[in-house]
Structure 1
Amino acid sequence: MSAVLKVEGVGKAYRTYHRELHRVLSWFGWRVKPKAEVWVLQDINFEVQAGEAVGIIGQNGAGKSTLLKIITGTLKASAGHVEVQGKIAAILELGMGFHPDLTGRQNAYHAASLLGYTTEQITAIIEEIKEFAEIGDYFDHPVRTYSSGMQMRVAFAVATAYRPEILIVDEALSVGDAYFQHKCFSLIRDFQAQGTSLLFVSHDSASIQSLCNRAVLLHKGKLLKVGAPQQIIDLYNASLADPDLKHTRLSGDANGGGIRSGTGEALIDTVRLLDAQEQPLDTVATGEPVKLCIVIDVHKAIDELVCGFVIRDRAGNWIFGINSKDYGKDLAGLQPGQKLVLSFGFDLNLGEGTYSVSVALTRSHRSHVEKNYDWLDLAHVFKVVNVHKKHFAGLAWLDAHVELTSLSDGPNKTLDHVNP
């Protein structure tokens, strides 16, 4: 598999000079010492293979948008270089390049021409662009009358009118309605199946996990790690509570290990899934009653502790999460040396597949950012098999009941006439 995108040693610095003449001379290759220099990107290296989808994750200010602008050529790198094979279609800042006084149709012609298409090529597909955007007569109204969602619809329709070798999407889809987001993701998957590579920037972990083969984590302008989407998202979540990553580490092997973070006042000692006889489980039957037992070691005095867990599917999507506070179990006034055992009992009504458990010890029952004592991803991994239930599809067993009623009063009988 060949790389369609290579980012090698890319950096971006913003400089101020003692004189404007010095800035101009720097444009022509003169070595002029700047008055001040701020690097927003440093030594970024990664590749994207043909047909691969790579997510880019990072906190605000990490350099994500700057990197994408360098890749698309709208911004010049201060160091390193980018190699691109094939045509890039990018949806970066919402409505970028759209003139508010021009209609959607006129802006579509203008934006598509900037992508390198001829007037004849654009005319051949302009009605398809209008149809995909689904904004009706507004397509021929000035863009200044559009909502942000309508602008995104037109921008996406233009960028994907012809299948590019590389598609870059930067948060723009977040402003769209749910229906159009699904429509866009469906088209993106079709493009991927045909060989298009995707570079996708989003804070939506479910979208990253659903679309991407790998993910890149940018942290304070530097590339922190490249790896599997779930691992990178876990590391990103840890960075929210630990901005300098002083208390964050990788547990397990480099390819599939979980992320552990926290300040350590209390630590997760053991996580076990038990059956009704208190025996450890690695394989569970759908609907089987289980107990998730979490052993906690207290190392420093803590005024309040909340213990929570979340079950995730193989792709990393959150299936179910709850914490001790939600059940009214107050863990307060804890002292060093205490060992606590917290048990959550429930019927495991999940579909067949492999699942993992993440456990957190925090001060808040709504966020781990405020105070994270210990957070452990992949604390336990288990498999679910369907032994006793009817065959069903999906991630949840809902124990449906079926009734059949004959509508025998004629062809115009409707469900409104059926008593529940």
Structure 2
Amino acid sequence: MIQVENLHKTFKLYRSPALRLKELVFRRSFHREFEALRGVSFRVQTGETLGIIGQNGAGKSTILKILTGVLLPDAGLIQIGGKITGLLELGTGFNAEFTGLQNIHMNGTLLGMSKSEIQKKTEAILEFSELAEFIREPIKTYSSGMIMRLAFSIAIHADPQAFVVDEALSVGDAYFQQKCMKKIQQFKETGGSIVFVSHDSNAVKVLCDRAILLDHGMVADEGEPDSVLNTYNFFLARKAKGEEIRFDPRSDRCRSYGNFKAKITAVNLEDAGGEPAECLVSGAACRIVITLAAEQKVDDVSVGILIRDRFGQDIYGTNTYHQKLPLALKRGEMCRVIYALDELNLGVGKYTLTVAAHRQATHVDDCYQWMDGVRTFEVVAPTGNPFIGLARLKPSVMVEHLRRHDRENRQAAANGARGARKA
């Protein structure tokens, strides 16, 4: 378990190294202060993965350096239930002049491993990193991807109870990144706690149970990964335009934000009879009804829906703009947008419904209101027609019995086609 409470960290910034010496001699201030962390608090339970996202300079790497003991906080409480290791900036803890094998011993020692432990784990480290061929070469001859392979392999084989990963994991080829992701997942399943920093939205969604958004050293949002990622995208869009960001949290499960030029006042999921529904049969009819009220005059209004599965993966989304239904409202006007689905052809499972109102095609440019996970519903299998997967495709299935000469003719035709391709 990892617990962080009210963490603060401030750095002194000097315009030149000479000013640092001048400050010591004259005992006057020649620096400016930069608050990297301002009251950050979070908890990571055993077997849980926390994703940390945010723009460069938000304080993500500073948190990881404090967790791993590279930096000390100015104030705050940190509790870690066991040994913690991590993969921070590429090459941290390595000596470029040493061979890969020498760096295994040196880095392993820095991570708290004994000499006998390092010797026992060396073979496993080499096998996972796939660097046995180059292990007696100095790492100054390694590519950045090879250094990442070695660093990750050492850290994950140090038998930690907690593991932190920075953007260094993004270096290297896709094959080894996937290998690392699987290893992290295995570590999590055995009860390890993970703090994962990444700009890869898909990786955060797949690996993380929760996420926090850092902005200027403070926690701006916390919750389900898909919800926090939506908030982050909204942050980026609004900051790019220099607009004010406002939040309106309705409940623990629904995050709502936007400029609220138009407000979503009601969202209903109904069955075929128009009754509220939380459980629907795959293939049955249903309706999504959204009520919108204009706080001021809005043109080119688009009202959209987004259905996600229990892993936060987008399953289906559309809006009135893409459906070519123009909408404009005067101040005080209200309307209802009804999405009537003749057949809800989703696979069995639990889903969430997100709705939004914005200008034209996307919420990125001008978002009136985004309501994340406003409804949760379950889809059950239809009686007598089971299937597996995320979609009920309703195929037309036929069986053709072939006579012997039909089989021979088709085989001859297939052989002829293969011969023509080879020619």
| TM band (smaller chain) | 0.7 to 0.9
The one-character-per-residue Cα deviations of 1:328-352 (angstroms, maximum 9, x if unpaired) are: 3344x54334434434344322122
1:13 corresponds, among 10, 22, 28, to: 10
Q: Distance in 1 between matches of 2:202 and 2:238?
A: 22
Say which of 22, 35, 39 aligns to 1:39.
Answer: 35
**SS state at 1:373 partner:** strand
**Residues 111 and 158 of structure 2 are in contact (CA less than 8 Å); yes or no, is this contact kept in structure 1?**
no
Q: Which residue matches 1:380?
A: 375
1:342-381 mapped onto 2 (5 Å cutoff): 342-346=337-341, 347-366=343-362, 368-381=363-376
Q: Which has the larger radius of gyration?
A: 2
Question: Is the contact between residue 235 and residue 245 of structure 2 (CA under 8 Å) also seen in structure 1?
Answer: no
Residue equivalent to 2:420: none
Q: Determine helix, strand or coil for the equivalent of 2:331.
A: coil
Q: Distance in 1 between matches of 2:344 and 2:135?
A: 50
Q: How many residues align?
A: 405
Match of 2:268 in 1: 272
Aligned residues of 1:239 and 1:245 also touching (Cα < 8 A): no
| Alignment partner, residue 248 of structure 1 | 247
Superposition deviation, residue 19 in structure 1: 5.1
- Picking from 55, 59, 63, the partner of 1:59 is 55
Deviation at residue 53 of structure 1 after TM alignment? 2.7
Shift of 1:323: 2.5
Separation in structure 2 between the aligned mates of residue 49 and residue 34 of structure 1, nearest angstrom: 43
Which residue number corresponds to residue 131 of structure 1? Answer: 127
Cα distance, 1:274 vs. partner? 4.0
Q: Do the aligned residues in 1 keep the contact of 2:59 with 2:217 (CA within 8 Å)?
A: yes
User: Cα distance, 1:375 vs. partner?
Assistant: 0.8
More strand by share: 1
Counterpart of 2:263, as a letter, is L
Q: CA shift at 1:67, angstroms?
A: 1.1
Cα deviations across residues 122-168 of structure 1 (Å, max 9, x unaligned)?
33333322221246745566656655444433322221123211110
Partners of 2:113 and 2:158 within 8 A in 1: no
Please say if residues 6 and 48 of structure 1, whose CA atoms lie closer than 8 Å, have aligned partners that are also in contact.
Answer: yes
Name the aligned partner's letter for residue 4 of structure 2: V
Distance in 1 separating the partners of 2:213 and 2:133? 42
1:160 lines up with 2:159 in the alignment: no
Aligned counterparts of 1:144 and 1:396: Cα–Cα separation in 2:
51
Displacement, 1:221? 0.6
- Distance in 1, Cα, partners of 2:326 & 2:99: 59
1:182 shift after superposition: 3.8
Aligned partners of 1:123, 1:24: CA distance in 2, in Å?
A: 46
Counterpart code for 1:169: V
> Displacement, 1:279?
4.9
Query: Is 298-307 or 65-74 further displaced after alignment?
Result: 298-307
Question: Do the aligned partners of residues 20 and 146 (structure 1) sit closer, same or farther apart at CA in structure 2, a change above 3 Å counting?
Answer: closer
> Is the contact between residue 163 and residue 196 of structure 1 (CA under 8 Å) also seen in structure 2?
no
Shift of the 9–293 alpha-carbon distance from structure 1 to 2, 3 Å rule, reads: closer
Change in 2 beyond 3 A, CA 1:337/1:81: closer
- Gap runs ≥5 in structure 2: 418-423
1:171 to 167, 173, 176: 167
1:392 counterpart (387, 392, 409): 387
Following superposition, the deviation at residue 61 of structure 1 comes to 2.2
Distance, in Å, in 2 between the alignment partners of 1:24 and 1:292 is 67
Sort the Cα spacing of 1:124 and 1:236 in 2 relative to 1 into closer, same or farther, 3 A. Answer: same
For 1:403 and 1:5, the matched residues in 2 are separated by: 59
SS in 2 for 1:251: coil
What amino acid sits opposite 2:392 in the alignment? Answer: W
Structure 2 length normalisation: TM-score? 0.80
Is the Cα–Cα contact under 8 Å of residues 253 and 374 in structure 2 kept in the other structure? no
**Could you tell me how far apart the structure 2 residues matched to 1:380 and 1:90 are?**
38
Cα contact 1:269–1:295 (8 A) shared by 2: yes
Letter of the aligned partner of 2:248 in structure 1? R
| Contact 2:13/2:34 (8 A) holds in 1 | no
**Does the aligned pair in 1 maintain the 2:2–2:80 contact within 8 Å?**
yes
Question: Which of 156, 161, 179 is the aligned partner of 1:183?
Answer: 179
- Output aligned runs, 1:55-134, within 5 Å: 55-99=51-95, 104-134=100-130
SS at match of 1:249: coil
1:219 to 215, 221, 226: 215
Q: Tell me the amino acid that sits aligned with residue 183 of structure 1.
A: K
| Residue identity opposite 1:171 in structure 2 | E
Q: CA deviation at 1:90?
A: 0.6
Question: How has the CA–CA distance of structure 1 residues 268 and 157 changed in structure 2, closer, same or farther, with 3 Å as cutoff?
Answer: same
RMSD: 3.8
My pick for the range that moved more, 217-226 or 270-279, is 270-279
Query: Pairwise mapping of residues 218-367 of structure 1 onto structure 2 (< 5 A)?
Result: 218-229=214-225, 231-242=227-238, 246-252=245-251, 256-276=252-272, 278-331=274-327, 334-346=329-341, 347-366=343-362
Matched to 1:48, the amino acid is V
Distance 1:385 1:16, change over 3 A: closer
> How far off its partner does 1:260 sit?
0.9
Identity across matched positions, percent: 37
Q: Distance in 2 between matches of 1:326 and 1:214?
A: 32
Asked if the contact 1:15–1:34 (Cα under 8 Å) also holds between the matched residues in 2, the reply is no
Structure 1 range deviating more: 215-224 or 239-248: 239-248
**Structure 1 CA distance, aligned partners of 2:228 and 2:98?**
42
Contact 1:242 1:248 in 2 (8 A): no
> Greater CA deviation, 133-142 or 199-208?
133-142
What one-letter code is carried by the residue in structure 2 that aligns with 1:249? D
Q: Give per-residue Cα distances to partners, 1:69-99, cap 9 Å, x unaligned.
A: 1111212323335343432211112343445
